[in-house]
Chain A
Amino acid sequence: MALFAEFGQTLIILACVLGFFMAWGVGANDVANAMGTSVGSRALTIRQAIGIAMVFEFLGAYLAGGEVTSTIRNDIIDPALLIDSPELLVFGMLASLLAAGTWLLWASMRGWPVSTTHSIVGAIVGFAAVGISPAAVNWDKIWTIVASWVVSPLLAGIISYFLFRSVQILILNSAHPFANAKRYVPFYMFGVGFLIAMITLLKGLKHVFKDIGVAMSFAESAFFAAIFGAAVSLLGTFLLGRVQKDDVADRVNRFASVERVFAILMIFTACSMAFAHGSNDVANAVGPLAAVVNVVKSGAVAGQSSMPSWILLLGGLGIVIGLATYGFRVMATVGKKITELTPSRGFAAELGAAATVVAASGIGLPVSTTHTLVGAVLGVGIARGIAAINLRVVGTIFMSWLITLPAGATLSIVFFILFKAIFS
């Protein structure tokens, strides 16, 4: 196409800049939510949390971020209508990135709890439905995504509820909580390792495996995931060996030593949370970018095509840089506010949320990590585990849904028309 020959380079660079900015925003703002529970429960210092977040956000984005990215890139819009005018998809995706970025910046400055995921999905649906035609939107997929926004906090809440109940029954209410904590915590660690390895092997590493010509069956994946889980559990047991019973602290609170055991477990769940977050949220930034690059390079709207790994790499880097430049400050504020969360609860909430988000990443559903974590915390609260939960937050989250979708959509329509006017 003449347009792509003339402006191709410019469009790709523009998309990279906008995508990188979005990834920066995810790192600066959202990571703090994913990691705040660990900092708040004092299982990790901020410095340690940043270190873990950098490594595992990046790994999650790079290893398991492909499915959600492909959903954002390919599945929201029906490409059949765009075969004759691939440039519309490019303009639309650029407009969506710009719209979501603008909206997030505005909302953050006003202090509204909005979700990156909801902004980008709203923006893409907006430009496609109004800018092109309502038929261009893959509505079935949209309803699945919207349903996942309701299901993911619920599911995380249920998992966290049962995780925390199991902790109560197996450890806290037993005759020897400290000994039992040391006995059972490695099993939870195994679960964390198994979960992450399984999703990564089944879904995330598809593009890596395809490149080197490896195919793994479900049973093989489960086998390797179990080995990985066992390794994690061994490492954890080693770390647990260094936790001693502290009789002085126990006199103030009888569970002080037990919580120290859970603090070790929380290091692992924090890793899983960062991994889950990276795997799901990187797509918000690089999904549209991938679509733009694909169309400009090939000059046509391809249905399904492999994604260049440098795009996931760019997203992962953006998240890490956002975290390093601004995210640590947000994390400090969030961490200070949620000190009521002890490691035994924090772990239940984190693992419930991480499991849900990683599973959603595996099947390619873009969900909101923060909302899922809120659901998980409520689950622990229902098990009578948290002293005080402000239920009004749940109301503000619903409000932010109602505002974010139309706001993202409207902005992206405006930018879409603008781009069309500039480039053609």
Chain B
Amino acid sequence: MAIGNPLQNLFGKSPIKPLQEHMTAVVECAEALQDFLAAAIADDWPAAEEVYNRIYTTERHADELKKQLRLHMPSGLFMPVSRTDLLELLSVQDHIANRAKDIAGLMLGRQMRVPEALQGAVSEFLAASISATQQALKAINELDELLETGFTGSEVTFVEELIEHLAELENRTDILERHIRHRLFKLEGELAPVETVFLYQIIDSIGELADLAERVGGRLQLLLAR
């Protein structure tokens, strides 16, 4: 008898929890790269493949979450944040997972070896990029508190601080990236040219993880600034 109950149909499914779940899965993908790189440096390709499969599954899971979220946001939904902003935020988040999968996929496919002189620096660079994505997740996890306060007041200031810190982290990865590229340039003579080209590409992609994380922060800022 209560099928047409207006109150029951009034409440749509909140997009916030799924968005946070998606970001959690995305960051898991990025974090797994650390294990992947360790296996690649150790030249243990079976182990690397295992990690790649883990990244692949998690990325698929994130994709599924993304699809579900999009399906649950019909245009008649009235939300405290703009629907377009939310969907774009989701899309940027999703890019992080894709990028992580691409990095692992490319390295696995070519069984790429990081030159010994660069191994420490690349690990550090990757860790910095991952911590940028973790910081972005931290900001996204504040969304329910933001909703609680109606996107006003001290909570907004708090999230803005998180986003500022995220920008600093991203800036650090830029500096690290520049150093690594310079060192790789110095090594170019000793390496096979094709190898070098792909190493540049991997470095670029790792840097992009942090860029995307910062863009998540930027999108979140847009969400707040309504």
Contact = CB atoms under 8 A, between A and B. Distances in A.
A354 to B, nearest CB: 14
A384 B150 contact: yes
B154 interface: yes
Contacts, number: 143
Nearest to A33: B7
A29 B1 CA distance: 8
Nearest to B9: A393
Interface stretch (A106-114, A192-200, A224-232, A311-319): A106-114
B1 A172 contact: no
A326 to B, nearest CB: 7
B189 to A, nearest CB: 54
Contacts of A306: none
Contacts of A392: 9, 76
Interface stretch (A44-52, A81-89, A329-337, A357-365): A329-337
A110 B4 contact: yes
Max chain B Cβ within 10 angstroms of own Cβ: one of A172, A371, A377: A172
A369 to B, nearest CB: 10
A396 interface: yes
Nearest to B147: A387
Interface stretch (B13-21, B90-98, B117-125, B192-200): B13-21
Interface string A113-126: 11000000000000
Given A108-B4, A326-B1, A387-B147, A374 B152 contact: no
Contacts of A374: 6-7, 10
Contacts of B77: 388-391
A172 B12 contact: no
B148 A389 contact: no
Contacts of B145: 253-255
Interface stretch (A202-210, A338-346, A404-412): A338-346
A387 B16 contact: yes
Interface string B1-38: 11111111111111110000000000000000000000
Contacts of A342: 148
B79 A333 contact: no
B79 A111 contact: no
B45 interface: no
Chain A, interface size category, equals 35 or more
A172 B10 CA distance: 25
B153 interface: yes
Contact of A390 (B10, B80, B147): B10
A28 interface: yes
Nearest to A383: B150
A337 B13 CA distance: 9
B7 A340 contact: no
Interface string B145-184: 1011111111100000000000000000000000000000
B44 interface: no
Nearest to A373: B7
A396 B76 CA distance: 12
A381 B78 contact: yes
Contacts of A32: 2, 5
A384 B148 contact: no
A390 B144 CA distance: 19
A44 to B, nearest CB: 16
B74 to A, nearest CB: 8
Contact of B10 (A29, A175, A377, A387): A377
A337 B80 contact: no
B73 to A, nearest CB: 8
A330 B152 CA distance: 36
Contacts of B3: 111
Nearest to B7: A33
Given A387-B80, A390-B77, A340 B11 contact: yes
A168 interface: yes
Given A172-B149, A342-B148, A389 B1 contact: no
A334 B2 contact: yes
A345 to B, nearest CB: 9
A397 interface: yes
Given A110-B4, A330-B5, A388 B12 contact: yes
B11 A173 contact: no
A165 to B, nearest CB: 8
Nearest to B145: A254
A400 B5 CA distance: 12
Contacts of A254: 145, 148
16 contacts: A108-B4, A109-B1, A112-B4, A164-B150, A172-B148, A173-B153, A329-B2, A333-B5, A337-B11, A377-B7, A384-B147, A385-B150, A387-B80, A388-B12, A390-B78, A392-B76
The 5 closest A-B pairs by CB, nearest first: A173-B153, A388-B12, A111-B3, A387-B14, A111-B4
Given A172-B148, A374-B7, A385-B147, 19 more contacts: A29-B2, A36-B8, A108-B4, A165-B150, A168-B150, A175-B154, A255-B149, A334-B7, A340-B12, A370-B7, A384-B80, A384-B147, A387-B12, A387-B147, A388-B79, A389-B12, A391-B76, A391-B78, A396-B9
Interface of B: 1-16, 74, 76-80, 144-145, 147-155
Interface of A: 28-29, 32-33, 36-37, 40, 107-114, 164-165, 168-169, 172-175, 253-255, 326, 329-330, 333-334, 337-338, 340-342, 344, 370-371, 373-374, 377-378, 381, 383-393, 396-397
